[in-house]
Amino acid sequence: MSVVIRQPGVVLTDHLFQVPLDHDVPQGEQIEVYAREVVAAGKERAELPWLLYLQGGPGGRAARPVGRDTWLDRALEDYRVLLLDQRGTGRSTPATRQTLPLRGSAAAQAEYLSHFRADSIVRDAELIRRQLLGDEGRWSLLGQSFGGFCTLTYLSLAPEGLREALVTGGLAGLRSSAADVYRAAYPRVARKNAAHYARYPEDVEAVRRVAEHLLAAPAELPGGGRLTVRAFQSLGLMLGTGNGSDLLHYLLEDAWVHGVSGPELSDTFLAGVQSKLSFAEGPLYAVLHESIYGQRSVDPGPTGWAAEQVRAEFPEFDAAQALTGDAPMLFTGEMIYPWMFETDPALRPLRETANLLAGRTDWPDLYAPDALAANRVPVFAAVYHDDMYVDTADSLATADAVRGLRTWVTNEWEHDGLRVSDGKVLDRLIGMAQGRL
């Protein structure tokens, strides 16, 4: 029996579904997928269209609502919302350092996780749609970031299940390999660094001081992780959000304290860094990150730790080299590196599994360009100008390749615009879908 919870302004209903691990073997092993239904209080019995929300990631659980917060407030005016914990996340059958060893060897774990990409997520959603809406029912789709990638897969594999699709910061390059993605990403990240240092010029010296200290002696984080210079650089993941530059600056403000042996990195700083760098809450983000770009028709070879390989083409990200001169040390962005599976205790037990996935070849295609070119589902997408996480040029090329897709290109918001705009981003896309804009 479903659990129903009332919060101010909303009614929440739990749903748990059994789905095949491998949709090509529907009678084989089953896993659980959890979803939370959200409807405005007083509209519980109303005949509202459904809106399926696909979270960013990969490996991120759906948002946990507290009343009508963030974009939900706008969505609930028109829809009954379903927040999906994509397979392996949240209250769905978990895939973590604690549970994956139950599968056996690293090879068995890697094989298991090969079924956790966008194509499987879409097939899960289709089974859920039929259970909730019936075979003929169709729902709307809202895809944020990686959820937008999944939306393109949905339009490729099962467009008959959709009445419309809304995408925020998530139009992937249909023909971009993992190496292509990172080759385009490093210059964008460099621009975000330049913008940060222009806003906070005092951080040039503050960052250099921390980096020099870590180069001489890496620090231990409260959770047992190891803060190296490269790990410190990966705080640049923050720079792609609306307030990320400010939060990074405030983190650096607390870097030092005068201890018994002189200046040392403060517990406040180290705890803050720990909260930003640990993958304990979402290990699949790291384990599966490069695999979301694997497609045999684009590149039949392995993704091969593409972010690490491509990094060599951008020597300006070499911290040690920067520290020998006057150049600012550059932070990196949404890149996953093999050394993270050494420095993060949440990832360390999954190191061999991640290496096997990085070496896997012949990943099935996730997008069907011919189907997208013939698309008949209305699609409306917010494309953020100079988005640090998703290449704008790729997004616009994809928009041209999907029949009937309309874009709204904006520099008012960064990649997290859906969450922080008080419903304005979603309202714009709904207005486009309703023909008001």
* pLDDT tens-digit map of 82-95: 999 999 999 999 99
Are the C-beta atoms of 305 and 112 separated by less than 8 Å?
no
pLDDT of 389: 98
pLDDT of 307: 98
Distance CA 278, CA 286 (A): 10
Please determine, for residue 1, whether its predicted confidence score (pLDDT) is greater than 70: no
357: confidence class by pLDDT, cuts 50, 70, 90: very high
Question: Mean pLDDT over all residues of the chain?
Answer: 97
pLDDT of 322: 94
- The string of pLDDT tens digits covering residues 179-238 is 999 999 999 999 999 999 999 999 999 999 999 999 999 999 999 999 999 999 999 999
Are the C-beta atoms of 354 and 287 separated by less than 8 Å?
yes
Give residue 72's region: left, alpha or beta (phi > 0; psi -120 to 50): alpha
Residues 6+ apart with CB under 8 A from 222: 267, 270, 271, 274
- The string of pLDDT tens digits covering residues 307-331 is 999 999 999 999 999 999 889 999 9
Give the rounded percent of residues in the chain with a pLDDT score beyond 70.
100
Domain boundaries, the chain: 4-174+367-433, 178-359
- Residue given tokens 């946990």 in the structure block: 64
pLDDT of 437: 83
pLDDT of 2: 76
Q: Give the CATH fold of the 4-174+367-433 domain.
A: Rossmann fold (3.40.50)
| Tokens read off for 136 | 């003929």
pLDDT of 204: 97
- Whether 370 is a known active-site residue: answer no
- Residue given tokens 């990240």 in the structure block: 189
Choosing from 92, 120, 145, 156, the catalytic residue is 145
Choosing from 267, 362, 386, 400, the catalytic residue is 362
Choosing from 115, 196, 289, 415, the catalytic residue is 415
Please determine, for residue 268, whether its predicted confidence score (pLDDT) is greater than 80: yes
Alpha-carbon distances, residue 73 vs 53, 187, 423 (angstroms) = 14, 36, 7
Cis, bond preceding 58 (omega within 30 deg of 0):
yes
When pLDDT is averaged across residues 138-162 and rounded to a whole number, the result is: 98
Kindly tell me the sign of the dihedral angle through the C-alpha atoms of 212, 213, 219, 222. negative
- Whether 386 is a known active-site residue: answer no
pLDDT of 17: 98
Are the C-beta atoms of 419 and 413 separated by less than 8 Å?
no
| Tokens read off for 303 | 């993704």
- Whether 145 is a known active-site residue: answer yes
When pLDDT is averaged across residues 129-138 and rounded to a whole number, the result is: 97
